[in-house]
């Protein structure tokens, strides 16, 4: 049985605020402001000094938990044109090749995360250059200052969580990478990111009614499914990983994710599994492939079909799939006698903005994405699509991240959960101290 989501609650700003104990929605809405504040803090920290030195032999990024996406994004954006390798690292051991010619970037909102802190300390011991982002006065800041590196503080975001302070942590890293020539993220582009995040925050604000708020609409759809998430390429793949993490940590909903083209077969194989619409009914049930959202497809029927006795009509409408046990949901099933229906598989496809003019590679990618979506719909899978708006890579990525972050938060609240407080996570922390 699918979990119950209170749609009326999602349209009540006061109730949303009451159930959101640590103002997660407000923190997400501040993403554009985070970018602007981080630009100021990075400049004050002297991040431009990175350009005064020789380009490093390699760059290693240490981040864990809610901050780990910073490393993923830097890898994504730097990979196409970076003259040096960029690699993510969650914890020790630090690779043996890291030394004085390399740059280590360590990110932790509190400045106390064991993995990034240990990586930064070991990098400093080996004489590597350091760029750190975290709370001022934290152990991470102290390690960086002793190593004569560049530390960027986190300003107002220090009082939030790493999940909602993404742009506070990411922006200085993008600025530093731009100064080193690893990627193209000049000030005008980052200002566009801030503007796009502001636009999305306005569009998905709590006071925006559910029928026009894309995040609320998507949250309601996801609540009715067992979700899987696909990105249609590298950019969508990073966003899909973020969506999976946010759904799990914020809404407590597990959601496998992948990236096309590699994950196509793995995800499509689920379409004939126990949660797919055409694979979970009993022999002889109604063929759901002919009914969608209450509309009956009468293509190919003769007028006299409607005059036939019900038994004969149903026999005509049963297809081979139904007779073999692969029909869709039985709309005549009695939930009291037969039990609640299993939730339907849902595919959330995160699509990049169209490439203009199209290239052979973009056409091939679009063809594969469309094929996956067509296969999903024909299998009775609930399909949800989110398309990024136009702009530079990081601007389009910001589009996706805003949608999935707000969606996961609305989903949590609609399910009666506090998006920022998990008793089981608190128990785990207590047991591992």
The model's pLDDT over 102-156, given as tens digits with 9 standing for 90+, comes to: 999 999 999 999 999 999 999 999 999 999 999 999 999 999 999 999 999 999 8
Burial-class residue 184 by CB neighbours within 10 Å (0-12, 13-18, 19+): middle
**Is 245 in the same domain as 125?**
no
**Is 209 in the same domain as 306?**
no
- The CATH number of residue 395's host domain is 3.40.50.10490
Comparing CA positions, the residue from 64, 125, 51 lying closest to residue 91 is: 64
Comparing CA positions, the residue from 72, 51, 48, 49 lying closest to residue 62 is: 72
**Is 53 in the same domain as 164?**
yes
Residue 428 in any domain: the answer is no
**Is 109 in the same domain as 236?**
no
Burial-class residue 30 by CB neighbours within 10 Å (0-12, 13-18, 19+): buried
Degrees to nearest 5, angle at CA 393 with 390 and 395: 60
- Predicted pLDDT at 433: 75
Global pTM? 0.86
Residue 279 in any domain: the answer is no
Give the strand order in the sheet containing 150-152.
86-89, 59-62, 103-108, 129-134, 150-152
Comparing CA positions, the residue from 89, 65, 259, 53 lying closest to residue 164 is: 65
**Is 170 in the same domain as 246?**
no
Degrees to nearest 5, angle at CA 350 with 346 and 351: 130
Domain assignment of residue 35, given as a range? 24-194
Residue 426 in any domain: the answer is no
**Is 239 in the same domain as 157?**
no
Give the separation between CA 22 and CA 266, rounded to whole angstroms.
37
Burial state string for 343-360 with b = 16 or more CB within 10 A and e = fewer than 16? bbbbbbbbbbeeeeeeee
Residue 224 in any domain: the answer is yes
**Is 223 in the same domain as 352?**
yes
The whole-angstrom distance between residue 374's C-alpha and the CA centroid of its chain comes to 23
DSSP letter at 93 equals P
**Is 407 in the same domain as 377?**
yes
Residue 425 in any domain: the answer is no
- Predicted pLDDT at 340: 59
**Is 125 in the same domain as 39?**
yes
Band of pLDDT at residue 326, cut at 50, 70 and 90: very low
- Predicted pLDDT at 255: 96
Tens of pLDDT along 340-389? 566 889 999 999 999 999 999 999 999 999 999 999 999 999 999 999 99
Under 8 Å between Cβ of 23 and 432: no
Band of pLDDT at residue 15, cut at 50, 70 and 90: very high
Residue 146 in any domain: the answer is yes
Answer whether residue 301 shows pLDDT above 70. Answer: no
Query: How many distinct structural domains can be found in the chain?
Result: 3
Residue 90 in any domain: the answer is yes
Tens of pLDDT along 191-247? 999 999 999 999 999 999 999 999 999 999 999 999 999 999 999 999 999 999 999
Residue 427 in any domain: the answer is no
Strand partners, 384: 348
Give the separation between CA 375 and CA 381, rounded to whole angstroms.
9
Question: Residues in the chain, how many?
Answer: 433
What tokens does 379 get? 């299998």
Q: Looking at 137, 171, 194, which one is the last position of a domain?
A: 194
Q: Looking at 161, 194, 227, which one is the last position of a domain?
A: 194
- Predicted pLDDT at 343: 81
Q: Count of CB atoms within 10 A of residue 199's CB?
A: 15
DSSP letter at 83 equals S
Average pLDDT, the chain: 87
Comparing CA positions, the residue from 284, 181, 266 lying closest to residue 230 is: 266
**Is 212 in the same domain as 252?**
yes
Under 8 Å between Cβ of 158 and 59: no
Strands 295-296 vs 59-62: parallel, antiparallel or unpaired: unpaired
Burial-class residue 88 by CB neighbours within 10 Å (0-12, 13-18, 19+): middle
**Is 113 in the same domain as 229?**
no
| Strand runs labelled E in 315-387 | 344-351, 382-387
**Is 237 in the same domain as 119?**
no
């Amino acid at each position: 049985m699918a979990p119950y989501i209170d749609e009326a609650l999602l349209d009540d700003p006061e109730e949303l605020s009451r159930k959101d104990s640590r103002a997660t929605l407000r923190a997400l809405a501040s993403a554009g402001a985070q970018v602007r504040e981080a630009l100021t803090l990075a400049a004050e920290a002297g991040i431009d000094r990175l350009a005064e030195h020789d380009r490093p032999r390699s760059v290693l990024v240490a981040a864990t938990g809610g901050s780990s996406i910073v490393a993923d994004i830097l890898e994504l954006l730097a990979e196409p044109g970076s003259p040096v390798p960029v690699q993510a690292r969650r914890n020790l051991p630090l690779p043996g090749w890291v030394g004085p010619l390399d740059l280590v970037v360590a990110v932790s909102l509190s400045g106390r995360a064991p993995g990034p802190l240990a990586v930064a300390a070991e990098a400093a011991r080996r004489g590597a250059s350091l760029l750190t982002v975290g709370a001022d006065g934290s152990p991470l800041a102290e390690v960086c200052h002793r190593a004569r590196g560049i530390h960027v503080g986190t300003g107002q975001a220090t009082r939030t969580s790493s999940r909602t302070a993404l742009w506070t942590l990411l922006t200085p890293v993008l600025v530093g990478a731009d100064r080193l020539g690893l990627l193209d993220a000049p000030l005008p582009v980052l200002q566009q990111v801030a503007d796009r995040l502001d636009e999305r925050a306005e569009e998905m604000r709590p006071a925006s009614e559910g029928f026009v708020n894309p995040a609320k609409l998507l949250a309601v759809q996801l609540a009715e499914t067992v979700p899987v998430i696909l990105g249609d390429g590298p950019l969508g793949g990073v966003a899909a990983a973020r969506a999976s993490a946010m759904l799990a940590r914020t809404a407590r909903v597990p959601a496998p994710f992948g990236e096309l083209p590699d994950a196509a077969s793995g995800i499509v194989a689920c379409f004939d599994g126990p949660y797919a619409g055409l694979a979970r009914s009993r022999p002889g049930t109604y063929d759901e492939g002919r009914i969608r959202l209450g509309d009956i497809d009468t293509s190919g029927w003769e007028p006299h079909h409607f005059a036939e006795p019900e038994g004969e009509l149903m026999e005509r409408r049963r297809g081979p799939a139904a007779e073999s046990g692969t029909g869709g949901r039985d709309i005549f099933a009695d939930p009291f006698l037969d039990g609640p229906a299993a939730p339907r598989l849902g595919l959330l496809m995160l699509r990049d903005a169209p490439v203009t003019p199209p290239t052979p590679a973009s056409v091939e990618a679009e063809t594969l994405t469309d094929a996956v979506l067509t296969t999903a719909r024909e299998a009775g899978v609930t399909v949800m699509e989110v398309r990024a708006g136009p702009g530079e890579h990081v601007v389009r990525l910001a589009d996706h991240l805003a949608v999935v972050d707000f969606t996961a938060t609305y989903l949590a609240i609609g399910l009666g959960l506090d998006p920022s407080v998990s008793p089981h996570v608190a128990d785990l922390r207590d047991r591992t101290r």
